[in-house]
């Protein structure tokens, strides 16, 4: 499994995982529900970039995270620009970018074991109705970590295409799917070896 946590001593690194998870959930909700305009989305993106600085993460990490989102930005932005308006495209694309960058920041500044413990505590009351809290917490944490992992796989596929001087277009999904399935098998084997699957 790819570990995303970057050790550090910033206030974000030292903050409790539960607090960070709650703030992330509130920020994602606010980004999704609040009726933003062009200026407020710009301020949100500046604030998210400032949080990376507060976490004392190198700028190259923020740039790498933003670069991984380029296809989402291009496809979503172009579709909304064509079918709705450039302003709506900016607002909605900015929302998606802001949420994904915040999710990446959460995984970069929080150990997965801490995040898993918080999720397990949150899910424990559901055990009364037959929900396996540990399985649900593990599933959520794996889902959070898989977003940047799959994005990294997409970068690898594209780099391999560039090195060979070919463009597969839609067929690029095939090697990406193979890498994702192979990674899923590795994660499954690791979980089984630890008695978690």
pLDDT digits (tens, 9 = 90+) for 117-166: 887 788 788 778 887 777 777 777 677 667 777 777 877 887 888 888 87
Residue spans of the chain under pLDDT 70: 1-3, 141, 144-145, 168-171, 196-197
Residue whose structure tokens are 């008695």? 195
pTM (predicted TM-score): 0.71
Alpha-helical runs (H) found in the chain: 11-14, 17-33, 38-54, 59-68, 70-83, 86-109, 112-123, 133-164, 173-193
Q: CB within 8 A of 111, min separation 6: which ones?
A: 5, 17
Where b means 16+ CB within 10 Å and e means fewer, 57-86 reads beeeebeebbebbeeeeeebbeebeeeeee
Backbone angles phi, psi at 172, to 5 degrees: -60, -20
Whole-number pLDDT of residue 170 = 65
* DSSP per-residue codes, 132-143: -HHHHHHHHHHH
Q: Can you tell me the distance from the alpha carbon of 93 to that of 160, in angstroms, rounded to the nearest whole number? A: 28
Whole-number pLDDT of residue 144 = 67
């Amino acid at each position: 499994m790819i570990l995303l946590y970057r050790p550090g001593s910033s206030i974000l690194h030292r903050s409790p995982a539960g607090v960070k998870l709650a703030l992330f959930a509130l920020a994602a909700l606010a980004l999704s529900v609040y009726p933003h305009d062009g200026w407020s989305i710009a301020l949100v993106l500046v604030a998210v970039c400032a949080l990376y600085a507060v976490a004392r993460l190198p700028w190259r990490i923020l740039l790498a995270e933003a670069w991984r989102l380029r296809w989402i930005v291009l496809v979503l932005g172009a579709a909304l620009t064509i079918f709705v308006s450039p302003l709506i495209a900016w607002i909605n694309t900015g929302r998606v970018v802001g949420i994904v960058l915040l999710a990446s920041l959460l995984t970069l500044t929080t150990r997965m074991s801490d995040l898993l413990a918080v999720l397990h505590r949150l899910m424990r009351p559901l055990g009364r109705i037959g929900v396996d809290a540990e399985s649900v917490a593990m599933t959520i944490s794996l889902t959070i970590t898989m977003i940047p992992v799959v994005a990294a796989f997409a970068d690898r596929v594209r780099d391999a295409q560039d090195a060979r001087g070919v463009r597969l277009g839609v067929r690029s999904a095939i090697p990406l799917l193979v890498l994702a399935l192979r990674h899923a098998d590795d994660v499954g084997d690791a979980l089984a070896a630890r008695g978690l699957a």
